[in-house]
Amino acid sequence: MPDDPQRPKTRETAGHAHAPFGENDRPSGIDAFEELSLRIRQLSLERRRLGRLLQAVVTISADMDPRAVLRHLVEAGADLTGARYGALGVLGEDGTFVDLITTGVDAGPLLAERGIPQTHGLLGRLISRPEPLRVDDIRTDSRAVGFPPGHPVMTSLLGVPLTVRGVVYGNLYLADKEDGTPFTDADETLLTALASAASISIENARLYERLKRAAEQFQRRLLPVLPDLSPLRVEARYQPASDLPRLGGDWYDAFGLPDTTVLVVVGDVTGHDVEAAPQMGQIRNMLRVLAFDRCGPPSLIVSRLDRALTAFGDSSAATLLLARIEQRPDAGHVLCWTNAGHPPPLLVTADGTVRCLAPEAHGIPVGVDPSMPRPDHTHPLPPESTLLLYTDGLIERRDRGIDAGLRDLADHASALATAPLGPLCDALIGRPDAYNDDVALLALRVPRPPA
């Protein structure tokens, strides 16, 4: 019968009359399906690993502390490859390890006993040849020497150099995957990519640290060396902000006047841009000139400063507290001060009592409105008492109010009432929590009365 063009072809008419479904067809179809499934799983795994790689790079880039960046790098490398152990050796200028950062193993006891590993054996291989290193079985490698007693037994190793601006900064090592398999080409590619991306973050962190040190040195050079004001004792401290290498406007000063009184001041220029520090120096110098020109009450000096800032077209605002310490025959040492929008001084007596000198009447910051009145206040300074002047960075935190910070400072100062002035300042400004703002602290101690 001739073929009917409208009739659908069967396997038989299509030339497969030998069987309705060939047995030989099934394995090839299953193999293709399994291969496709395997490829899909691999693509999915690679996608997840790429996502984790990008997340690791973001985490590393977000930190500006060089050592924290390196720790993020070690932990990310171990996580991405499934490694049980990780270490990053930082190289010094002479090509030897100067620091070692680890994960998965407590290196503290080993470093305390044997010091930082030397650059020989497998560790030295990446230094002499800065290219990826992969070893499937460390125990059979002749270069695997120098493991100290107590060091974890390791089988496989993957290492990549860490290069910053063409110079080998350190070496990143991973050992022993959690699943017991050797490191693969994909692991090597992933770790190399991570190290390459991290090198930019390391360079940024190093530049950040240099900028921070330069800014701090510049700021400290603007601050005075305090003179001998005997019989009064005076100490001062400055601490830059912890989070940004910004030039602040915090300052302190103390000097004797021609009328035998002592003038002390602590202030803070608003802002943290490049202009704040030079403006702080200008205001400090202007205050010195005005104080020497007329040995009047603090309110008069600050009012004249306010008018001068306005007259010279300087729009900078600043808070400050200016005080005179006078010695009166009938009253001993007396504090006379005016407050221009600044945190109040604390008076700590020898028995640990702390008084916050915060009268209701106080002035506004300078550089705002020179027509506003500036009241003066007086308070006796008992023998062996300590006067604390400071900027708001000492008591302000992002997670608490100023009142709570002031109470904490008062409690801390009370416990240090009889401590020598230098250690007292170090303790008050050297607390472990980071400072969100610059801090200037000036402490003045009244002598005990003569016998």
Given a cut of 60, whether residue 450 has pLDDT beyond it is yes
Q: What is the pLDDT of residue 273?
A: 57
- Which residues, other chains included, contact 111 with Cβ-Cβ below 8 Å and sequence gap of 6+? 100
- Judged on CB neighbours under 10 Å (0-12, 13-18, 19+), 371 is exposed
Residues 222-229: what's their mean pLDDT?
Answer: 86
Given a cut of 80, whether residue 422 has pLDDT beyond it is yes
Give exposure, 94-124, as e/b (b: 16+ Cβ within 10 Å).
eeebeebbbbbeebeebeeeeebbebebbbb
Phi-psi region of 243 (alpha: psi -120 to 50; beta: other; left: phi over 0): alpha
Q: What is the pLDDT of residue 350?
A: 95
Q: What is the pLDDT of residue 14?
A: 39
Q: What is the pLDDT of residue 9?
A: 42
Q: What is the pLDDT of residue 4?
A: 46
Joined tokens for residue 415? 């416990």
The pTM assigned to this predicted structure is 0.60
Given a cut of 50, whether residue 5 has pLDDT beyond it is no
**Which pLDDT band holds residue 117 (cuts at 50, 70, 90)?**
low
Contact present, 250 and 439 (Cβ < 8 Å): yes
Helix, strand, coil distribution of the chain in percent, nearest 5: 35, 25, 40
For the stretch 153-169, pLDDT in tens is 788 999 888 887 777 77
Q: Which of 290, 319, 33, 181 is nearest to 158 (CA)?
A: 181
Residues 386-390: what's their mean pLDDT?
Answer: 97
Residues shown for the chain: 451
Q: What is the pLDDT of residue 2?
A: 45
Residues 328-353: what's their mean pLDDT?
Answer: 93
E-strand ranges in 249-317 read 250-256, 262-269
- Which residues, other chains included, contact 14 with Cβ-Cβ below 8 Å and sequence gap of 6+? none
For the stretch 39-72, pLDDT in tens is 666 555 555 665 665 565 666 555 567 777 778 8
Contacts of the segment 330-334: beta carbons below 8 A, 24+ positions apart: 331/380, 332/380, 332/381, 332/382, 332/383, 332/446, 332/449, 333/232, 333/380, 333/381, 333/383, 333/446, 334/378, 334/379, 334/380, 334/381
Percent of the chain with pLDDT over 70: 73
Angle at 277 between CA 272 and CA 279, to 5 degrees: 105
Q: What is the pLDDT of residue 108?
A: 64
